[in-house]
Amino acid sequence: MDAPVLTRTQPRASSRSAASSGASTHSSRSPPRRDTSSTTPNTPSRSPDRRSSSRSDRSPTSRSRRSRCRSRVEQEARFSSSPESHCAQPVVWEHFSRACAAGTGSTERENMKSRKLGLWRRLTAVAAVSALSVLGMAGTAQATDHVGNIDSSKSGSIVIHKFDGNEGGDGGNGSVLADTSGMGKPLAGAGFTVKQVTAKGGQAIDLTTPDSWDAISGLQASAVTESGYTLVDKGTKTTDANGLATFGGLPLGLYLVTESSAPANATSTTAPFLVTLPLSQNNGKWLYDVNVYPKNSVNDTTPTKTVANPAAPVLGSTVDWTITAPVPRANHGYNSFVISDKLDKRLEFQSASLAGFTSGTDYTVSNSDGTVKISFTAAGLQKLKAGNDVVATITTKVTSQGDGTIENTALVNVNDSGVETPAVSSNWGSLTIHKFAKGDKTNNLAGAEFAIYSDAAATKSVGKLTTKADGTASITLWVGNNDDTTQKYWIKETKAPAGYVLDDTVNEVTVKAGETSAAVVFDFANTQQGHPNLPLTGADGKMLAMIAGIGLMLIAGGAAIVVANRRNNQV
């Protein structure tokens, strides 16, 4: 196989060049023979072969041969690069070397350079192919990793968990939630329909391709058909006693889930939502069995509760708690509507009423173990209209302070589905007055009377206090509702203890919510009454001194008169 290739590529020369080439070839195989007939013993002979070889190197034919040899090197390099020629390469190279051996030394050097060039070209080609192969494998791996190694041989399932709580749950990452205590009770009898979302013509959406994920990104459940997709029904199921409905054996793809029917005691249905099978996870894995916890449709049926200021800001006064419950939409009418309020132990129930409804006819009121219930009768249920508000007022008396914060909530149950109101609070604090003699805090004074006012002008009295033997008097005062926990009051002494001066100055004090032990203490000093000057001696001694003085004066005067009369008589 190799010989014909080599024969066709052998260079052709004239007879003269061929003879020269043959001589050169012969000299390369064995030493030249000496011609003894034409030489003398002492005269060195020159080899005609070497001269012939030199002439051959300079001839045009020799240059042509060198050119053909270089072409042969390149041809051999191309030939040896093919896998089929690897086994024949040594033989080809041997014949080729013999064919080119007729060249000169410079030709051999050129041949060597050509062989090296061919080798480098082969190595470069192999490296390039290897690099392209690596790049190709890297590109394939990247495309595979982009879709997260989805196993297209698997099927998936959608497990629906339905609860009666208004807020529902978000389902997390599609796994089963460990804690569902805040979602209410499992809701049986809710019907759900699952439909596969397909492209135009009913072709399934292939989630093993990145393009499909890009196409459904941002798709809204309410606009599936409007976006050009079609739906393939995969069945309808109803939640069991545990609130579960399972759709198994579903092919991988995109699904639309709709609550098709609600149980008799439901007030609203779930908004439609989309689910992909599989569902992506944060750890780079895929979930093929997806658990969902659908929320109820958003509506304005959340009840609210407010607390009014007490009739008076002291213990024993009444406080009104008002519950406003919007009437929700009910698919099958209303079979129950109950407002429940479990009162704090510091609250004593007084009364309850519903605005616009008649007690005993439209509703009833009960109070058992501190829980007040306002229940609509059958006649009252007929008067309920979706969107209207039911306003209930529960009146209580505040009997004690406790920790200072009296919190209260209410529960509104419509068709046995309960929603709790946000908590509200009535806040209370203590004020203590300490009465003592001025200059000595340990000299406590009892019997001092004070008035507490809610205004700086001291015109609105809210309570009166009298100090005890320890000099103190305390009162519990309302300080605000919810986040308001401080309140200003004013104190004025209305009666001082016996023997002390009354101080009718109006003093401001700030009361804070909290326990009795954290009461605000106001120190109030009193000055004693003054007294008349006392004599140095008794009253009788003073009188005698006065009389004695007068007597001395009379005696002196009488003596002067006697002396004067005597002088007159002598004259």
pLDDT digits (tens, 9 = 90+) for 2-18: 433 333 333 344 434 34
Q: What is the pLDDT of residue 215?
A: 87
Closest CA to 407 of 342, 357, 338: 342
| pLDDT tens column, 96-110 | 344 444 444 445 555
Please state the domain extents for the chain. 2-28+47-123, 156-292, 304-422, 427-526
Closest CA to 255 of 288, 210, 211, 297: 288
| pLDDT tens column, 180-198 | 887 878 888 889 999 999 9
Tell me which residue has tokens 């003085």: 549
427-526 architecture in CATH? Answer: Sandwich (2.60)
Tell me which residue has tokens 């439609």: 272
Q: What is the pLDDT of residue 459?
A: 96
Calculate the dihedral angle through the C-alpha atoms of 398, 400, 402, 406, rounding to the nearest 10 degrees.
0
Tell me if residue 75 falls in helix, strand or coil.
helix
Tell me which residue has tokens 């001194």: 545
- The CATH number of domain 156-292 is 2.60.40.10: yes
Checking if the pLDDT of 93 tops 90, the result is: no
Q: What is the largest CA-CA distance in the chain?
A: 230
Q: What is the pLDDT of residue 542?
A: 62
Per-chain mean pLDDT for the chain: 77
Dist CA 389 CA 114 (whole Å)? 100
Q: Could you tell me if 334 and 385 are in contact, meaning their C-beta atoms sit under 8 angstroms apart?
A: no
Mean pLDDT of 239-267: 89
| pLDDT tens column, 388-416 | 999 999 999 999 999 999 999 999 998 87
| pLDDT tens column, 330-356 | 766 888 999 999 999 999 999 999 999
Dist CA 268 CA 320 (whole Å)? 31
304-422 architecture in CATH? Answer: Sandwich (2.60)
Q: Could you tell me if 471 and 525 are in contact, meaning their C-beta atoms sit under 8 angstroms apart?
A: no
Letter string b/e over residues 349-368, b meaning 16 or more CB atoms within 10 A of that residue's CB = beebebeebeeeebbebeee
Q: What is the pLDDT of residue 320?
A: 98
Q: How far is CA 33 from CA 30, 50, 105, in A?
A: 9, 12, 22
Read off φ and ψ for residue 133, nearest 5 degrees: -65, -45
The residues with which 466 forms a beta bridge, in sequence order, are 449
Q: What is the pLDDT of residue 398?
A: 98
Residue type, position 332, single letter: H
Length of the chain: 571
Phi-psi map region of 252: left, alpha, beta (phi>0 left; psi -120 to 50 alpha): beta
Mean pLDDT of 285-299: 80
Dist CA 466 CA 494 (whole Å)? 10
Dist CA 202 CA 84 (whole Å)? 51
Dist CA 543 CA 533 (whole Å)? 18
Dist CA 430 CA 511 (whole Å)? 7
Query: Cβ neighbours of residue 45 under 8 Å, at least 6 residues apart?
Result: 34, 35, 38, 39
Pick the most confident of 79-93, 140-154, 373-387.
373-387
| pLDDT tens column, 435-466 | 999 999 999 999 999 999 999 999 999 999 99
Q: Do domains 156-292 and 304-422 have the same CATH topology?
A: yes
Q: What is the pLDDT of residue 386?
A: 87
Checking if the pLDDT of 505 tops 90, the result is: yes
Q: Which residue has the higher pLDDT, 537 or 39?
A: 537
Q: What is the 3-state secondary structure (H, E, C) of 317-367?
A: CEEEEEEEEECCCCECECCCEEEEEECCCCEEEEEEEECCCCECCCEEEEE
